[in-house]
Structure 1
């Protein structure tokens, strides 16, 4: 099989290739095409992959190109991990929002909307190109904001685009581990949108083990989300929220912490990755070891401000290794290509999974996956507080899609104004003005 990675010069690509190296079954991916607009980044990542492949006799062949059409032709799977505007764009998103007193995180709140407005037009053009050049390919989307971008692409690719995220995977595995359960045998009851979901049950042999966790404050305090949210809130909710819900439940504290930090997350990653790619311009630099050291630092500092707010301390080693979007991608490809039926939490069109949303809305939910794709499992209704957030954020996503399609500035303002974490229509207007100033690519928002 041929896999094409859009954003092939991205820092996390070696994670995907590392997962592929462990697959030796018949019908595995045998050729990986890396596509990126930045030739230097492609060269650096190709060096890391070459060192990863040393000693692996059946390692997938790697080809790098800056020609999109060449990369897409003949692809069986297309992995989309682009970043429109790069990490400099992310840093600008964060700073504009924080200067106006609202959250600037790249997928949540104002920053996520700005990122979506930049990314959706590009993702739509990619979807059209894929539909024309590789109509039988399955698209696995990791481009953020993952749910929004997947929905935009699904309007052109239908169910052949599936969004993935490592957050619910990591959450489910951490909860299973704390409960002494095998995460590969547990059924995780999870529902919501990308970066806006709740784990509501963990079933082992038909028995829900979550009530046992919720009844034990000490056990709740023994893993990442328990320390992040606190036992009292989790017991009140009767569920374990995705870590990104910390931005909603503790928004004031999170905004203040991000305003007070010396460097935003986007700025930190921008500087860190610039250093990584600069070091790999030296042909003598050990590519894989340099990448691995950089990755470890990146993971250890993930959501550091939120953990400071919660007094959660440093991330534990067991929490660092609990996710793995690359394993989700590999399991998804195996299930489709070989009909190896499995269950995964994915971003797919809703159909009837969440009754409050329409069939075309992309949701994040457990799916049964086989050769015909991913099929969401109908979920029990979310409680009113959770559904209020889900429907409000879905309305925001739809306004972003409208703005991206029509060029309507009013729709862009509406997207910001409707978001639960933007507390003023006046601020929404100023956000649009400032983002258009710092991102020339948003000049398309010139319509009424």
Structure 2
């Protein structure tokens, strides 16, 4: 199989390569093509891959290219992880919002809208190139904001685009382990999860039929043993009756998070930009580029969501080890290719289908060989998350087969959860419309309507601020 990574000079690409060379995914890919518009970043990552110590497994052939057509021709699967504007753009995404006293975060709130306005046009160009040069290929998207970008691509690629993020699946596995019932990779027995990307809740955890979540939510020691359990006040969790995705910290603790970011000596984006600005030029000539990259990666992982750990503490060793989104992407790829699920040690999990939490349309766009599990409510279509449009991309458990990813039915979300999802989904759709139709008013509405903004005046200031920082945005408007 030939895999192409769009954004092949990305900092996390070595994690994908390492997973392709060792463990259950070894041998899955025969050729890996790294495509990027930045030749210098490609050279840095290529040096890391050559220098990576691998005790076992098979190294796929690696090619690097700055030519898109050449990279796509003959490709069966495309991973997309691009960042238009680079890490410098992320700094601006955060800073414009923070300067107005608003949350400055790359995927949540105003920064996420700005990021989407830059990402969606480039991803639509990639989708069109795939239709021309590899029309049967699958696109596995982790370009952020992943759910919004995936929804923008569905009209072009249909069911052949699947959005991924590791935060939802990681929450489920951490919670299951804390409850004393760890789940095998690729299985989600008894799991109930609904939401949008970076906006979801684990509401049921019943791998053996009995829901363990109520007990977990009242066990303060167990909650303190994993990341999400520590992020949120146990009293809040008990009242919610579910476990929120870590990014909901920015909604539930907006003032605290914003203040903590403003008090830091530099924002997360600034830290990453400075780190990569010095790292990449040094990698090709370094005697040990892999060690330099790995040290930078550990430092970066330690700083993840540091604004939520103002009382001290550090991330768990398992989280620092990495191995999140690339495992999800490769599990999807293997299932699409007809491979069976495997545990992390490579052992076969039998004929059970692969189940993962993914970003897909709320109603299936292709048959997976059997009737979709769905909910039928009076006046509503059969959808995975009742209360959201059938064509809205949602983040839910899915069954992945060679026919694609089928969303599995979830309970109808309670009022506060559904209201927030509907609100944010409308913002996402306005953002997509702004790009698709060149509609500046839609972009203005998206900023103003976001629940972390909630002001027409601030929405106007945000859009003008981002247009000043990114002049290319003005070229979107008709």
Same fold per superposition (TM over 0.5): yes
Match of 2:419 in 1: 388
TM-score by length of 2: 0.90
What does 1:326-345 correspond to in 2, within 5 Å? Answer: 326-340=326-340, 341-345=353-357
Cα distance change of structure 1 residues 61 and 313 upon mapping to structure 2, 3 Å threshold = same
What does 1:338-353 correspond to in 2, within 5 Å? Answer: 338-340=338-340, 341-351=353-363, 352-353=383-384
8 Å Cα contact 1:98-1:104 kept in structure 2: yes
Q: Secondary structure at the match of 1:204?
A: coil
Match of 2:433 in 1: 402
Structure 2 residue 393 is matched with structure 1 residue 362 = yes
What does 1:56-75 correspond to in 2, within 5 Å? Answer: 56=56, 58-75=58-75
- How much has 1:57 moved relative to structure 2? 6.2
8 Å Cα contact 2:26-2:58 kept in structure 1: no
- How much has 1:206 moved relative to structure 2? 1.9
- How much has 1:136 moved relative to structure 2? 0.6
8 Å Cα contact 1:228-1:312 kept in structure 2: no
Cα distance change of structure 1 residues 13 and 323 upon mapping to structure 2, 3 Å threshold = closer
What does 1:104-123 correspond to in 2, within 5 Å? Answer: 104-123=104-123
Match of 1:289 in 2: 291
Which residue of the other structure, out of 424, 429, 449, is the alignment partner of 1:418? 449
Cα distance change of structure 1 residues 307 and 395 upon mapping to structure 2, 3 Å threshold = same
Cα distance change of structure 1 residues 202 and 287 upon mapping to structure 2, 3 Å threshold = same
Q: Aligned pairs, how many?
A: 444
8 Å Cα contact 1:408-1:446 kept in structure 2: yes
TM-score by length of 1: 0.96
- How much has 1:30 moved relative to structure 2? 0.6
Unaligned runs of 5+ in 2: 341-352, 364-382
What is the alpha-carbon distance in structure 2 between the residues aligned to residue 149 and residue 208 of structure 1?
A: 34
Which residue of the other structure, out of 219, 225, 230, is the alignment partner of 1:227? 230
Moved more, 26-35 or 401-410: 26-35
Q: Deviations over 1:206-245 (max 9, x none)?
A: 2221112012122222221111112111001000000000
Which residue of the other structure, out of 264, 281, 301, is the alignment partner of 1:261? 264
Q: Secondary structure at the match of 1:183?
A: coil
What is the alpha-carbon distance in structure 1 between the residues aligned to residue 397 and residue 34 of structure 2?
A: 30
- How much has 1:51 moved relative to structure 2? 2.2
Cα distance change of structure 1 residues 429 and 368 upon mapping to structure 2, 3 Å threshold = same
Cα distance change of structure 1 residues 24 and 432 upon mapping to structure 2, 3 Å threshold = closer
What does 1:80-229 correspond to in 2, within 5 Å? Answer: 80-184=80-184, 186-187=188-189, 188-229=191-232
8 Å Cα contact 2:22-2:58 kept in structure 1: no
- How much has 1:190 moved relative to structure 2? 1.0
Q: Secondary structure at the match of 1:360?
A: coil
Which residue of the other structure, out of 436, 443, 463, is the alignment partner of 1:432? 463
What is the alpha-carbon distance in structure 1 between the residues aligned to residue 202 and residue 7 of structure 2?
A: 31
Q: Deviations over 1:274-324 (max 9, x none)?
A: 121122142x4301111111110110110001221xx36222324434861
Q: Secondary structure at the match of 1:208?
A: coil
8 Å Cα contact 2:4-2:72 kept in structure 1: yes
Q: Deviations over 1:155-207 (max 9, x none)?
A: 10011000110101211121112112222155331110000000111222222
What is the alpha-carbon distance in structure 1 between the residues aligned to residue 320 and residue 170 of structure 2?
A: 9
